[in-house]
Structure formats: structure tokens, C-alpha cells
């Protein structure tokens, strides 16, 4: 005689389901995206007098934490003293709001379009660990370069390029040339 067993369903993490279980929507047309980005850039310059960028905001987040942990170091470095030290708050700058908006906007857009997920994109010949090492190494190099170039690719290409800054155009050509030159050596990691 068979008896029916009432199996209790496993509890589902409602937050996880809310965040990660949305249907995936197609990407926006790249030409439409470019037009919208141009309008956002124009409005940023028109309304605030400043363009778009992210590295300055991230830099200010780091200086904020450094000011909490080692304020005496801030007081000894002229570059950091311009942003913090004394009564100055490194988060009191327009670029912090742009960076925060980009992070939150990316998160919300990913959620709305069903693309919010935890994953590591990699080629079939590379381990997850190696992919993370390469990603952090590349990110560190680009971060250092962004500080040396006085702006990230967003600030240089979008804001500087829109104002026809020769230096911004030179930086972007150098970034693309460097990326194409390096791609040859790391292509096996993706194929």
C-alpha cells in the first residue's frame, strides 16, 4: 500500500528570487544607446558644467576610507590633502554623485532587464581563479593609468572627446592601441 507523503517544499530565499529571477530582456539598440548617452553627457555639461567619469569618484571613496583609517597620512600627501584633511570631506564633490549614480543605475538596469546575476565570464581554457587574477591585474593597471591620465576612459573619451580635447583623443587612441596589442597575447584565454 502506497502512502502519499506531503513533502514540504524547500524554503526559497525571497530576496534572491526577487533579485535574480526576472526574465532576461534583449539589449538596447547600440545606436539608440549612443544617442541617449550623448544626451546624458550634454545635459551633465549643461546643468553642472562637468562631464561624465568614474575614476575620480572611486578615488574619493578610497580617500574617504583612508581618512578614517590613517588621517595622518592624508595630512602628509599634498595630492590627498586637496580632497581631505582638516574639515574637508572627500565625498563632498559632484563626481561622487555621478559615480554613485552609475553604480546604482547599473544595478537597477541589470535588475529591470533580468541581467542581474553572479557569474564569472571566461573562456573555456581559463580557470575562474586565473580569470579573477587577470581581471584584478588589468583593473589595477587601468586604475593607475586613469590617475596618470587625469581621468578614466569615460572621462577622457566622453567628456574630453566631446570638447575636442587633443589630449583626450590621444589617450583614447593609446588605450585602443594598447588593448589591441595586448589582445594578441591573451586571446588564448578567451578562445
Full-model pTM = 0.73
Query: Please, which residues have CB within 8 angstroms of residue 85's CB and are 6 or more apart in sequence?
Result: 67, 71, 74, 75
Instruction: Report DSSP state, residue 155.
Output: I
Instruction: Report DSSP state, residue 12.
Output: P
Tell me the domain boundaries of the chain. 26-117, 120-191
Residues 120-137, buried b or exposed e (16+ Cβ, 10 A)? eebeeebeeeebeeeeee
One digit per residue, the tens of pLDDT, for the chain of length 191 reads 555 555 555 555 787 778 888 888 998 899 999 999 999 999 988 988 888 887 788 889 999 999 999 888 988 988 888 888 778 899 998 889 888 998 999 999 999 999 888 888 888 888 899 989 988 998 898 888 888 877 777 788 888 888 898 988 988 898 889 889 988 887 777 76
Amino acid at each position: 500500500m502506497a502512502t502519499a507523503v506531503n513533502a514540504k517544499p524547500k524554503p526559497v530565499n525571497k530576496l534572491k528570487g526577487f533579485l535574480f529571477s526576472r526574465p532576461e530582456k534583449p539589449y538596447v539598440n547600440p545606436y539608440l544607446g549612443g544617442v541617449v548617452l550623448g544626451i546624458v553627457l550634454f545635459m551633465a555639461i549643461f546643468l553642472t558644467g562637468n562631464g561624465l567619469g568614474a575614476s575620480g569618484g572611486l578615488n574619493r571613496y578610497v580617500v574617504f576610507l583612508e581618512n578614517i583609517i590613517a588621517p595622518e597620512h592624508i595630512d602628509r600627501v599634498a595630492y590627498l590633502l586637496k580632497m581631505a584633511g582638516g574639515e574637508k570631506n572627500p565625498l563632498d564633490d559632484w563626481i561622487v554623485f555621478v559615480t554613485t549614480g552609475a553604480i546604482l543605475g547599473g544595478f537597477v538596469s541589470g535588475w529591470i532587464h533580468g541581467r542581474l546575476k553572479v557569474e564569472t565570464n571566461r573562456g573555456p581554457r581559463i580557470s575562474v581563479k586565473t580569470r579573477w587574477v587577470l581581471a584584478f591585474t588589468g583593473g589595477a593597471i587601468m586604475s593607475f593609468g586613469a590617475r596618470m591620465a587625469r581621468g578614466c576612459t569615460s572621462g577622457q573619451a566622453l567628456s574630453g572627446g566631446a570638447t575636442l580635447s587633443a589630449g583626450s583623443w590621444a589617450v583614447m587612441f593609446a588605450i585602443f592601441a594598447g588593448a589591441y596589442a595586448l589582445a594578441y597575447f591573451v586571446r588564448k584565454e578567451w578562445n
